[in-house]
Amino acid sequence: MAGWSWWRALRRLPRLLAITLWYTARTALQACRLPPERQPRYRALRQQEGCRILCRLLGIAVHAPEVSLPPGRPGLLVANHFSALDPIVLATCWPVAFVGKAELARWPLIGWLCRTYGVLFVERERRTRSVAFVRQVRERLAAGVPVMVFPEGTTGPGDTVQPFKTGAFEAVAGLEGSWVLPVSLCLQQVDGRPATPEVRRRYAWTEGLSFLRHLIRWLGTAQMQLQVRIGAPIPTAGRHRKALAREAFEQVRTLYQEMLTEAMPFPTDDRIFSPVSMKQTGPGTVSE
Ligand SMILES: CCCCCCCCCCCCCCCC(=O)OC[C@@H](O)COP(=O)(O)O
């Protein structure tokens, strides 16, 4: 793996832990001093700031459009999911509360982190459509904090967007003045080179890969560039969860395909030997 080193991973790991512990302890203490109605927004803002610090430490550059969220009531952001670091990358863009699997609450350290930054837990087996989950999401929206969910429900290898589960959409289905915002995240470059499908798979949290090995892969990499694109906000008034999920999925998938196509490197032969065909297979076009 070019540019990857154990040394870098081992040097970054204690720093990552130290910063995370110190910053999160401060957040937890400060949050307790605030009146309850101001806490959710404070936690989300600290999460955004903390994740920016972590991305700098990890050499992660996030290219995101400078767009503010749709006006009016906060809504639901939905994104594709390929790595355990996706929430860290996406949290740099907006102050949001994430939806996470309930197992996370029981992990040492991670459980405490999640609670401090206001993660909403969902029992995936019991389907997100439960009354308690819907109430939690709506309370958070009412507190002025948009909620971000990964409706694929699990991480994929990064070659495509997997079908969306519809449960989480129930929390905003039919709400007046709210929205669903499709968000797409794509690994574009590693150490200055365009990410190929193999590279993307290497950085994805795939079946059978332990959390620690996955983390070490990211930690040992000098520089990564990820791109974030957002789609058109989908108004939720009068809409059913399934229709919202379908529309959001189409947008996230389309944005992802666009980014994959743009990241595609020139075939090596073309670049070196054939300037004519290089023109035909330039970025932004699909070479067949
Ligand atoms: C400086 C310190 C800043 C620290 C900021 C920490 C921010 C914590 C955000 C945690 C967000 C958790 C969101 C988890 C989403 C989730 O739960 O997805 C499930 C997947 O994983 C796949 O699980 P699986 O199918 O079981 O492999």
Model-level pTM? 0.90
Asked if residue 276 is part of any domain, the answer here is no
User: Separation of 234 CA from ligand 1 center, angstroms?
Assistant: 25
206: domain range?
Answer: 6-262
**114, 183, 211, best to mutate for ligand 1 pocket (most atoms within 8 Å of CB):** 114
**Confidence tier at 129 by pLDDT (50, 70, 90):** low
Give me the pLDDT at residue 287, please: 33
Q: Is the pLDDT of residue 286 over 50?
A: no
Segment 169-201, tens digit of pLDDT: 999 999 999 999 999 999 999 999 999 999 999
Q: What percent of the chain has pLDDT over 70?
A: 89
Asked if residue 184 is part of any domain, the answer here is yes
* Alpha carbon nearest to ligand 1 atom 17, residue: 100
Residue 187, domain CATH: 3.40.1130
User: Separation of 256 CA from ligand 1 center, angstroms?
Assistant: 20
Q: Is the pLDDT of residue 207 over 90?
A: no
Give me the pLDDT at residue 266, please: 54
**Confidence tier at 67 by pLDDT (50, 70, 90):** confident
Q: Is the pLDDT of residue 75 over 90?
A: yes
Asked if residue 209 is part of any domain, the answer here is yes
**Confidence tier at 2 by pLDDT (50, 70, 90):** low
Q: Is the pLDDT of residue 1 over 70?
A: no
Label each residue of the chain as H, E or C. Answer: CCCECHHHHHHHHHHHHHHHHHHHHHHHHHHHHCCHHHHHHHHHHHHHHHHHHHHHHCCEEEECCCCCCCCCCCCEEEECCCCCCHHHHHHCCCCCEEEEEHHHHHCCCHHHHHHHCCCEEECCCCCCCCHHHHHHHHHHHHCCCCEEECCCCCCCCCCCCCCCCCHHHHHCCECCCCEEEEEEEEEEEECCEECCHHHHHHHCCCCCCCHHHHHHHHHCECCEEEEEEECCCEECECCCHHHHHHHHHHHHHHHHHHHHHHHCCCCHHHHHHCHHHHHHCCCCCCCC
> What ipTM was estimated for this complex?
0.92
Asked if residue 106 is part of any domain, the answer here is yes
Q: Compute the average pLDDT of residues 212-232.
A: 96
User: Separation of 88 CA from ligand 1 center, angstroms?
Assistant: 8
Asked if residue 247 is part of any domain, the answer here is yes
Asked if residue 286 is part of any domain, the answer here is no
User: Separation of 60 CA from ligand 1 center, angstroms?
Assistant: 17
Q: Total domain count for the chain?
A: 1
Instruction: Give the nearest ligand 1 atom to 88 CA.
Output: 7
Asked if residue 124 is part of any domain, the answer here is yes
User: Separation of 87 CA from ligand 1 center, angstroms?
Assistant: 6
Give me the pLDDT at residue 274, please: 36
User: Separation of 209 CA from ligand 1 center, angstroms?
Assistant: 15
Cβ < 6 Å from ligand 1: which residues? 19-20, 23-24, 47, 50-51, 53-54, 84, 87, 91, 98, 100-101, 104, 113-114, 117, 119, 150, 154-155
